[in-house]
Amino acid sequence: MTEGQAKRTMYDVVVIGAGPAGAQAAVSAAHQMRHVLVLDAGPVSHRKGRAYWSKTVEIIDAPAFPGISGIKFMKALREWMAARPVRTVSISGRARPAGIELRAGMMLRLTRTAAEPGERAPAGHLFELEVSTAPLRDEKSPQIERFIGRTVVIASGFDDVWPDIEVEESARRQYRRYASVFRFAGNRKGWHVCIRCDGHLHVDEKLAILATGDLAWGIARGAQDFTEKLAILTNGRPHGFTAQQLATLRERGIPLVEEKIVAHVGKGTDLLGVRLESGRELFFDGFMLDLGLVPNTEYLRKEDGWSLQEDDEGLLVVDEDGQVLDTKGEPVPGLFAAGDIVAGQRNLIATAFALGQNAGLSASDVLREW
């Protein structure tokens, strides 16, 4: 940096994502007097975070929150972070910023960048974050801003794969393509994606499971805590069960419907049933869905040198400090992850808070000078 050039803003910890994992990581780091930037794609995209999708179903197992719908929960997390704004703290006469700056922004690209003279880089390098800070529109070029961080916490979670029922193929934006599915998603009588979360709504009721193979098997096994009145719908795809699994399903009287689903049968935002290709209509009290997931990590590009250890779904592998591992099993300096994006964890809110705290504190720890 030459004399006279403005010093660039350097955040101690940049958190990508403002769900429970990201919010907790940010609050924990700010609590250790760190200068924290949180990037939240929610306000500028349809990436609202998984908790948001609990639209009319109350979340009743999240710590310290009474029954709260997902939309209100995400708002409460934003308020929690906003209550810790950036201020100047002075320790032994050295002033530095501490607190949380919350920015609307969709992370597009994460790269490593060299520190300039006088800049402290605990990872041996700094992180540069390329972010779209206004809604992305087809016809307009994106509004890009760049931020610099000493450490990064990845808490951008994953998106559930939605079913191709009454999908608007010509629509480019996801929320238009899946408008019909989204009408019913996350409602008490609608598409649920988490048997642990929403199974309690359907005790001894008729439950449809839209999934195949091991995903369907996992839901069916989990669902038995709530009801035995199950049916598996494959929506025209091969069922993917082993002979032994098929025998168990038969034994349990769980029907397997392999016909394609062509339409929802609903009233307002309530999903009541589905119409099959043959015209047959099936009615249920609840609808569970698991068609897999898409990790929200497209900003970690191979061409930028990111070679991270992932599980077979693309979730990131971390060590006990929440530090991301590379493909050789080595912790990547300065890079942490928390929440649903972490492999091998329960995808639940309390887990996301715990992983967020671990990553936020670990990122703070590596910034200590001695």
Ligand X SMILES: Cc1cc2nc3c(=O)[nH]c(=O)nc-3n(C[C@H](O)[C@H](O)[C@H](O)COP(=O)(O)OP(=O)(O)OC[C@H]3O[C@@H](n4cnc5c(N)ncnc54)[C@H](O)[C@@H]3O)c2cc1C
Task: Choose, by CB under 6 A, the member of 61, 228, 311, 330 that binds ligand X.
Answer: 61
**Binding flag, residue 19, ligand X (CB under 6 A):** yes
Classify the phi-psi angles of 235: left when phi > 0, otherwise alpha if psi is within -120 to 50, otherwise beta. Answer: left
Stretch of residues binding ligand X (CB under 6 A), selected from 36-44, 234-242, 257-265, 315-323: 36-44
For residue 243, the minimal CB distance to ligand X (Å) is 33
Among the listed ranges 2-10, 13-21, 231-239, 313-321, the one in contact with ligand X (CB under 6 A) is 13-21
Could you tell me if 70 and 10 are in contact, meaning their C-beta atoms sit under 8 angstroms apart?
A: no
Which of 106, 233, 271, 337 binds ligand X (CB under 6 A)? It is 106
Footprint of ligand X on 148-207 (CB under 6 A)? 155-157, 160, 186, 193-194, 197
Q: Under 8 Å CB-to-CB from 39, ≥6 apart: which residues?
A: 14, 15, 16, 17, 18, 103, 105, 106, 107, 129, 131, 147
Binding track over 116-155 against ligand X, x by CB under 6 A:
---------------------------------------x
Shortest Å, Cβ 7 to ligand X: 25
Structure tokens at 122: 């605990």
- How near is the Cβ of 122 to ligand X at its closest, in Å? 23
Closer by beta carbon to ligand X, 130 or else 258: 130
Report how many residues bind ligand X under the rule CB under 6 A. 40
Cβ proximity to ligand X, 27 vs 349, nearer residue: 349
Query: Minimum distance from CB of 327 to ligand X (Å)?
Result: 22
Q: How far is the CB of 249 from ligand X (least distance, A)?
A: 26
Gyration radius (Cα) of the chain, Å: 23
Rounded to whole angstroms, what are the CA distances from 26 to 2, 148, 201, 206?
32, 16, 33, 41
Cβ 291 to ligand X, closest distance in Å? Answer: 13
How far apart CA 262 and CA 266 sit, in angstroms, is 13
Q: Using the rule CB under 6 A, which residue among 209, 282, 349, 361 binds ligand X?
A: 349
Instruction: Choose one: 26-34, 78-86, 287-295, 343-351; the region binding ligand X (CB under 6 A).
Output: 343-351
Sheet with 230-233, strands from edge to edge, namely 191-192, 286-289, 207-210, 230-233, 256-257
Residue 36 binds to ligand X (criterion: CB under 6 A) = no
302 contacts: CB under 8 Å, gap ≥ 6: none
Q: Strand, helix or coil at 39?
A: strand
- Report the residue count for the chain: 370
Let me know if 109 is exposed, middle or buried by CB neighbors in 10 A (0-12, 13-18, 19+): middle
For the segment 281-340, give every residue that binds ligand X (CB under 6 A): 296, 299, 339-340
Evaluate whether 155 touches 66 at the Cβ level (below 8 Å): no
Single out the residue of 28, 10, 114 nearest to residue 336, CA to CA.
28
**Binding residues for ligand X, per CB under 6 A?**
16-22, 39-42, 47-51, 53-54, 59, 61-62, 106-107, 155-157, 160, 186, 193-194, 197, 296, 299, 339-340, 347-350, 352
